[in-house]
Amino acid sequence: MSIYDFEVKTLQGKNLSLKDYAGKVMLIVNTASKCGFTPQYAELEELHKKYKDQGLVVLGFPCNQFAGQEPGSSSDISEFCSINYGVTFQIFEKNDVRGENALPLFKFLTKEKGFKGFDMNHPVAKPLVEVLKKNFPEYLEGDSIKWNFTKFLINREGNVVERFEPTTSPKDIASDIEKLL
């Protein structure tokens, strides 16, 4: 199985094959509009603008599984991303990213790159772990997505090369992206 075997739906409901991104470097991110990490949209957009002409595509996948932080419709999500962060990178239909009903793409991504822990130097890391322990202890088990804004970096050959947890800022992975461009 390859990253290129997956088909996903855009916010407009159009089917899109990840084969369309063959030869590109992909940064795949599960997103949410009402999360403490939501300001990462701005940094993701900066990466998109800076590197798109060199072959980077940023792909956002909204998810409402983490404390209901993406409650809106496709139209709401599109408007929020555009108005608040000027997002021009591709946003897809809202989906689950963990559990039995997870989008197959995310089942594949988490199988390819497991959870290695949060950056505990990040100011939100300790409170996030406490929230997970108290309210969602099952989220801490295994390699599944733990929270919004988990990022997967895919090289031009379609291999998942790295996973970055929400506590890693998009700007801090620019050097990893540059190595693949």
Task: Render pLDDT for 1-52 as a digit per residue (tens, 0 to 9).
Answer: 899 999 999 998 999 999 999 999 999 999 999 998 999 999 999 999 999 9
Minimal CA–CA distance to 61: which of 145, 160, 155? 145
Structure tokens at 121: 């130097």
The predicted structure's pLDDT at residue 14: 94
Confidence of residue 107 (pLDDT cuts 50, 70, 90): very high
The predicted structure's pLDDT at residue 8: 96
The predicted structure's pLDDT at residue 42: 96
- Calculate helix-pair angle for 74-85, 40-51, nearest 10 degrees: 80
Task: Tell me the pLDDT of the chain averaged across its residues.
Answer: 95
What mean pLDDT comes out for the span 135-154?
Answer: 96
Residues in the chain: 181
CATH topology (fold) of 3-180: Glutaredoxin (3.40.30)
Tell me the whole-structure pTM to 2 decimals. 0.96
Is residue 35 annotated as part of the catalytic site, yes or no?
yes
Residue 60 scores a pLDDT above 90: yes
Structure tokens at 103: 């989008």
Catalytic one among 32, 35, 87, 145?
35
